[in-house]
Amino acid sequence: MTLTLKTWLGGALLAAATMVFSPALWAHAHLKSQTPVADSTVDAAPATLTLTFSENIEPAFSGVEIVDGARQSQAISKTSVARNQMNVTLANPLASGRYLVNWRVLSVDGHKLKGSYRFTVK
């Protein structure tokens, strides 16, 4: 094997390893923060929930369901997505009680993720 071929193969191997182990290629849209905060108790019912993800999400394939303690889904009047943030406006004020927020997103890298968190309204 000539020196030029060895150099080329070494460079190609290094480039392939860099792509395989690059964190950006393995990134997915994980939930970074939310309002109300997970497992928190809020004094007043929020009019809007805000979920912020680690990368941009696809609006058409992302959504939220809010379920009360009696397992009843709460009506949502509007969901909007701007880059990595989803804002969910409730149709009606939430009564006192514990709520489960189920979210699902499609990140721009094509991966589907879902999760949930809870909060309580005094």
pLDDT of residue 35: 98
| Predicted model pTM | 0.78
Q: Tell me the domains of the chain and their CATH numbers.
A: 28-121 (2.60.40.1220)
Does the pLDDT of residue 105 top 80, yes or no? yes
Cα(119)–Cα(92) distance, rounded to whole angstroms? 17
Start-to-end C-alpha separation, the chain: 74
Q: How do residues 23-80 score in pLDDT, each as one tens digit?
A: 444 568 899 999 999 999 999 999 999 999 999 999 999 999 999 999 999 999 999 9
Band of the pLDDT at 101, cuts 50, 70, 90? very high
pLDDT of residue 28: 83
